[in-house]
Chains A and B, each alone.
Chain A
Amino acid sequence: MDTMHSRAIALALLLAGAGGAAPARALGPGGALPAIAAPRLADASSRLALGELRGSVVYVDFWASWCVPCRQSMPQLDAFYRKYRERGFRVVGVNKDVAKADAEHFLARVPVSFPLVADPGDAVARAFDVQAMPSGYLVDRKGVVRYVHRGYTAETADELRREIESLLGDGR
Protein backbone atom coordinates (compact mmCIF):
# COMPACT_ATOMS: atom_id res chain seq x y z
CA MET A 1 0.00 0.00 0.00
CA ASP A 2 1.42 3.42 -0.90
CA THR A 3 1.86 6.28 1.51
CA MET A 4 -1.17 8.22 0.34
CA HIS A 5 -3.47 5.29 0.90
CA SER A 6 -2.09 4.64 4.36
CA ARG A 7 -2.48 8.32 5.20
CA ALA A 8 -6.10 8.34 4.04
CA ILE A 9 -6.87 5.25 6.08
CA ALA A 10 -5.09 6.61 9.14
CA LEU A 11 -7.12 9.80 8.84
CA ALA A 12 -10.35 7.83 8.46
CA LEU A 13 -9.48 5.72 11.51
CA LEU A 14 -8.83 8.88 13.45
CA LEU A 15 -12.20 10.31 12.41
CA ALA A 16 -13.93 7.03 13.25
CA GLY A 17 -12.31 7.13 16.66
CA ALA A 18 -13.53 10.68 17.18
CA GLY A 19 -17.08 9.35 17.21
CA GLY A 20 -16.39 7.59 20.49
CA ALA A 21 -16.62 9.12 23.94
CA ALA A 22 -13.60 11.04 25.12
CA PRO A 23 -11.65 8.75 27.44
CA ALA A 24 -11.78 9.92 31.03
CA ARG A 25 -9.54 8.65 33.79
CA ALA A 26 -11.43 6.16 35.94
CA LEU A 27 -11.58 7.24 39.55
CA GLY A 28 -9.73 4.73 41.69
CA PRO A 29 -8.27 4.36 45.18
CA GLY A 30 -6.22 7.41 46.12
CA GLY A 31 -8.30 9.78 44.00
CA ALA A 32 -10.22 12.69 45.47
CA LEU A 33 -13.99 12.60 45.87
CA PRO A 34 -15.26 14.83 43.01
CA ALA A 35 -16.63 18.10 44.34
CA ILE A 36 -19.93 17.88 42.55
CA ALA A 37 -23.54 18.59 43.47
CA ALA A 38 -26.62 16.81 42.15
CA PRO A 39 -30.38 17.34 42.49
CA ARG A 40 -32.13 15.12 44.99
CA LEU A 41 -34.24 12.39 43.43
CA ALA A 42 -37.33 13.19 45.49
CA ASP A 43 -37.05 16.98 45.10
CA ALA A 44 -34.97 18.33 42.22
CA SER A 45 -35.06 21.89 43.63
CA SER A 46 -32.78 20.78 46.47
CA ARG A 47 -29.21 19.77 45.71
CA LEU A 48 -26.81 17.53 47.56
CA ALA A 49 -23.13 18.47 47.34
CA LEU A 50 -20.70 15.61 47.87
CA GLY A 51 -18.22 18.09 49.36
CA GLU A 52 -20.56 18.66 52.31
CA LEU A 53 -20.04 15.07 53.39
CA ARG A 54 -16.37 15.57 54.17
CA GLY A 55 -15.60 14.33 57.64
CA SER A 56 -17.80 11.28 57.20
CA VAL A 57 -16.99 7.93 55.65
CA VAL A 58 -19.05 8.06 52.46
CA TYR A 59 -20.17 5.37 50.05
CA VAL A 60 -21.27 6.78 46.69
CA ASP A 61 -23.31 4.14 44.91
CA PHE A 62 -24.45 4.29 41.27
CA TRP A 63 -27.65 2.31 40.81
CA ALA A 64 -30.65 1.95 38.49
CA SER A 65 -33.89 0.03 38.36
CA TRP A 66 -32.64 -1.92 35.31
CA CYS A 67 -29.47 -2.98 37.15
CA VAL A 68 -30.12 -6.52 38.39
CA PRO A 69 -27.45 -6.72 41.15
CA CYS A 70 -28.83 -3.44 42.56
CA ARG A 71 -31.78 -5.42 43.89
CA GLN A 72 -29.25 -7.08 46.20
CA SER A 73 -26.97 -4.14 46.87
CA MET A 74 -29.58 -1.51 47.77
CA PRO A 75 -31.13 -3.32 50.79
CA GLN A 76 -27.63 -4.28 51.95
CA LEU A 77 -26.37 -0.70 51.69
CA ASP A 78 -29.41 0.46 53.58
CA ALA A 79 -28.63 -2.03 56.34
CA PHE A 80 -25.03 -0.72 56.53
CA TYR A 81 -26.30 2.85 56.57
CA ARG A 82 -28.66 2.17 59.46
CA LYS A 83 -26.01 0.24 61.37
CA TYR A 84 -23.09 2.67 60.99
CA ARG A 85 -24.83 6.05 60.56
CA GLU A 86 -24.24 7.07 64.14
CA ARG A 87 -20.53 6.42 63.78
CA GLY A 88 -20.33 8.81 60.81
CA PHE A 89 -21.10 6.63 57.81
CA ARG A 90 -23.06 8.11 54.90
CA VAL A 91 -24.42 6.60 51.71
CA VAL A 92 -25.39 8.55 48.59
CA GLY A 93 -27.29 6.68 45.90
CA VAL A 94 -26.86 8.16 42.43
CA ASN A 95 -29.77 7.03 40.28
CA LYS A 96 -29.06 6.33 36.61
CA ASP A 97 -32.61 5.70 35.40
CA VAL A 98 -33.75 7.53 32.28
CA ALA A 99 -37.29 7.90 33.64
CA LYS A 100 -37.82 8.90 37.26
CA ALA A 101 -40.94 6.69 37.37
CA ASP A 102 -38.73 3.61 36.92
CA ALA A 103 -36.66 4.61 39.93
CA GLU A 104 -39.80 5.22 41.99
CA HIS A 105 -41.21 1.84 41.00
CA PHE A 106 -37.98 0.18 42.10
CA LEU A 107 -37.93 2.11 45.40
CA ALA A 108 -41.51 1.09 46.13
CA ARG A 109 -40.28 -2.51 46.19
CA VAL A 110 -36.81 -1.83 47.61
CA PRO A 111 -37.15 1.13 49.96
CA VAL A 112 -33.98 2.75 51.28
CA SER A 113 -33.43 5.43 53.92
CA PHE A 114 -30.18 6.99 52.64
CA PRO A 115 -30.22 10.13 50.43
CA LEU A 116 -30.70 9.62 46.69
CA VAL A 117 -29.77 11.98 43.89
CA ALA A 118 -30.59 12.07 40.19
CA ASP A 119 -28.00 12.51 37.45
CA PRO A 120 -29.94 13.56 34.36
CA GLY A 121 -26.96 14.97 32.43
CA ASP A 122 -24.53 12.18 33.46
CA ALA A 123 -22.24 14.79 35.07
CA VAL A 124 -21.81 12.76 38.25
CA ALA A 125 -21.25 9.47 36.40
CA ARG A 126 -18.69 11.18 34.16
CA ALA A 127 -16.88 12.73 37.13
CA PHE A 128 -16.43 9.24 38.61
CA ASP A 129 -16.02 7.63 35.15
CA VAL A 130 -18.32 4.80 36.14
CA GLN A 131 -17.20 1.55 34.49
CA ALA A 132 -19.92 -0.84 35.64
CA MET A 133 -23.35 -0.94 37.24
CA PRO A 134 -23.56 -0.90 40.14
CA SER A 135 -20.37 0.94 41.07
CA GLY A 136 -19.57 2.02 44.59
CA TYR A 137 -16.85 4.33 45.87
CA LEU A 138 -15.92 4.17 49.53
CA VAL A 139 -14.43 7.49 50.58
CA ASP A 140 -12.61 8.17 53.86
CA ARG A 141 -13.17 11.10 56.23
CA LYS A 142 -10.59 13.20 54.35
CA GLY A 143 -12.43 12.87 51.04
CA VAL A 144 -10.03 10.32 49.51
CA VAL A 145 -11.44 7.34 47.59
CA ARG A 146 -10.15 4.22 49.33
CA TYR A 147 -12.04 1.32 47.77
CA VAL A 148 -13.98 0.89 44.54
CA HIS A 149 -16.52 -1.88 44.02
CA ARG A 150 -17.65 -2.68 40.49
CA GLY A 151 -20.61 -5.02 40.33
CA TYR A 152 -22.12 -6.57 43.43
CA THR A 153 -22.03 -10.11 44.80
CA ALA A 154 -22.42 -11.71 48.22
CA GLU A 155 -18.65 -11.28 48.76
CA THR A 156 -18.93 -7.53 48.11
CA ALA A 157 -21.07 -7.15 51.21
CA ASP A 158 -18.45 -8.88 53.41
CA GLU A 159 -15.59 -6.83 51.95
CA LEU A 160 -17.58 -3.64 52.32
CA ARG A 161 -18.39 -4.35 55.96
CA ARG A 162 -14.68 -4.82 56.75
CA GLU A 163 -13.70 -1.69 54.80
CA ILE A 164 -16.37 0.51 56.41
CA GLU A 165 -15.36 -0.67 59.88
CA SER A 166 -11.68 -0.05 59.22
CA LEU A 167 -12.33 3.46 57.84
CA LEU A 168 -14.70 4.36 60.68
CA GLY A 169 -11.97 3.26 63.10
CA ASP A 170 -9.29 5.38 61.36
CA GLY A 171 -10.43 8.78 62.51
CA ARG A 172 -10.86 7.88 66.20
Chain B
Amino acid sequence: MRASLAVLALLAAAACTPVAPYQRGYLARPDMAMEPAQAGTAKALEKTYSAKEAAFGGASVGGGGCGCN
Protein backbone atom coordinates (compact mmCIF):
# COMPACT_ATOMS: atom_id res chain seq x y z
CA MET B 1 0.00 0.00 0.00
CA ARG B 2 2.70 2.43 1.05
CA ALA B 3 4.79 1.42 -1.93
CA SER B 4 1.93 2.07 -4.35
CA LEU B 5 1.42 5.50 -2.81
CA ALA B 6 5.12 6.21 -3.26
CA VAL B 7 4.88 5.03 -6.87
CA LEU B 8 1.91 7.32 -7.47
CA ALA B 9 3.64 10.28 -5.84
CA LEU B 10 6.79 9.77 -7.87
CA LEU B 11 4.81 9.33 -11.08
CA ALA B 12 3.19 12.67 -10.36
CA ALA B 13 6.64 14.13 -9.87
CA ALA B 14 7.53 12.91 -13.37
CA ALA B 15 5.29 15.66 -14.68
CA CYS B 16 7.84 18.19 -13.40
CA THR B 17 10.24 19.22 -16.10
CA PRO B 18 13.51 21.06 -15.81
CA VAL B 19 13.68 24.35 -17.70
CA ALA B 20 16.96 24.75 -19.56
CA PRO B 21 18.77 28.06 -19.01
CA TYR B 22 18.06 29.05 -22.61
CA GLN B 23 14.32 28.38 -22.18
CA ARG B 24 13.86 30.89 -19.39
CA GLY B 25 12.17 33.29 -21.75
CA TYR B 26 9.01 31.35 -20.91
CA LEU B 27 9.50 32.12 -17.22
CA ALA B 28 10.31 35.76 -17.98
CA ARG B 29 6.80 36.43 -19.27
CA PRO B 30 4.91 38.97 -17.14
CA ASP B 31 2.05 36.53 -16.55
CA MET B 32 4.50 34.01 -15.07
CA ALA B 33 5.47 36.36 -12.25
CA MET B 34 4.49 35.45 -8.69
CA GLU B 35 3.26 39.02 -8.27
CA PRO B 36 1.85 40.43 -11.51
CA ALA B 37 3.76 43.53 -12.53
CA GLN B 38 0.84 45.61 -13.82
CA ALA B 39 -0.60 47.96 -11.23
CA GLY B 40 -3.94 46.75 -9.90
CA THR B 41 -3.69 43.25 -11.37
CA ALA B 42 -2.51 41.69 -8.13
CA LYS B 43 -5.37 43.27 -6.23
CA ALA B 44 -7.93 42.16 -8.81
CA LEU B 45 -6.58 38.61 -8.77
CA GLU B 46 -6.63 38.53 -5.00
CA LYS B 47 -10.21 39.78 -4.89
CA THR B 48 -11.32 37.15 -7.41
CA TYR B 49 -9.43 34.43 -5.60
CA SER B 50 -10.92 35.40 -2.25
CA ALA B 51 -14.45 35.52 -3.65
CA LYS B 52 -14.09 32.18 -5.42
CA GLU B 53 -12.64 30.54 -2.35
CA ALA B 54 -15.11 32.24 -0.01
CA ALA B 55 -12.16 33.37 2.01
CA PHE B 56 -12.41 37.13 2.21
CA GLY B 57 -9.86 38.49 4.57
CA GLY B 58 -7.64 35.48 4.15
CA ALA B 59 -4.93 37.55 2.51
CA SER B 60 -4.75 40.86 4.31
CA VAL B 61 -8.18 42.33 5.03
CA GLY B 62 -9.88 41.64 8.35
CA GLY B 63 -13.26 39.98 8.30
CA GLY B 64 -14.98 36.67 8.01
CA GLY B 65 -15.77 34.32 5.18
CA CYS B 66 -19.26 35.66 4.46
CA GLY B 67 -18.25 37.14 1.12
CA CYS B 68 -20.02 40.36 2.01
CA ASN B 69 -17.11 42.83 2.07
Q: For the complex, is B69 an interface residue (Cβ under 8 Å from A)? A: no
Quick check: B23 and A12 within 8 Å, CB to CB?
no
Contact yes or no, B23 A122, CB < 8 A: yes
Question: Is the Cβ of A66 less than 8 Å from the Cβ of B28?
Answer: yes
Considering only CB atoms and an 8 Å cut-off, how many residues of chain A contact the other chain? 31
- B45 interface contact, C-beta 8 A: no
Partner of B17, one of A20, A62, A119: A20
Beyond A5-B2, A102-B25, whether A12 also contacts B20 by CB under 8 A is no
Report B28 CB to chain A, min CB distance, Å: 4
Q: What distance in Å separates the Cβ of B19 from its nearest Cβ neighbour in chain A? A: 9
Per the bound structure, the CA–CA distance linking A5 and B6 in Å amounts to: 9
Contacts of A16 in B (CB 8 A): 10-11, 13-14
Total number of A-B contacts with CB less than 8 angstroms?
Answer: 69
Q: Quick check: is A131 within 8 A (CB to CB) of the other chain?
A: yes
A11 at the A/B interface (Cβ < 8 Å)? yes
- Range of interface residues on B (Cβ < 8 Å): 20 to 34
B3 contacts the other chain (CB 8 A): yes
Given contacts A9-B3, A11-B7, A12-B10, contact A19 B17 (CB under 8 A): yes
Return A48 CB to nearest CB of chain B, in Å. 18
Given the known A-B contacts A62-B22, A133-B22, are A19 and B3 also in contact in the complex, defined by CB atoms under 8 Å?
Answer: no
Say whether B7 contacts A21, CB under 8 Å: no
Residue interface bits B16-57, CB-to-A below 8 A is 1, else 0: 111011111110110000000000000000000000000000
19 extra interface residue pairs, beta carbon distance < 8 Å, beyond A11-B7, A66-B28, A125-B22: A9-B3, A12-B9, A12-B11, A13-B10, A15-B11, A16-B11, A19-B15, A19-B16, A19-B17, A21-B20, A64-B24, A64-B25, A65-B25, A66-B25, A97-B25, A119-B22, A122-B20, A133-B21, A133-B22
Chain B contact residues, CB within 8 Å of chain A: 2-4, 6-7, 9-11, 13-18, 20-26, 28-29
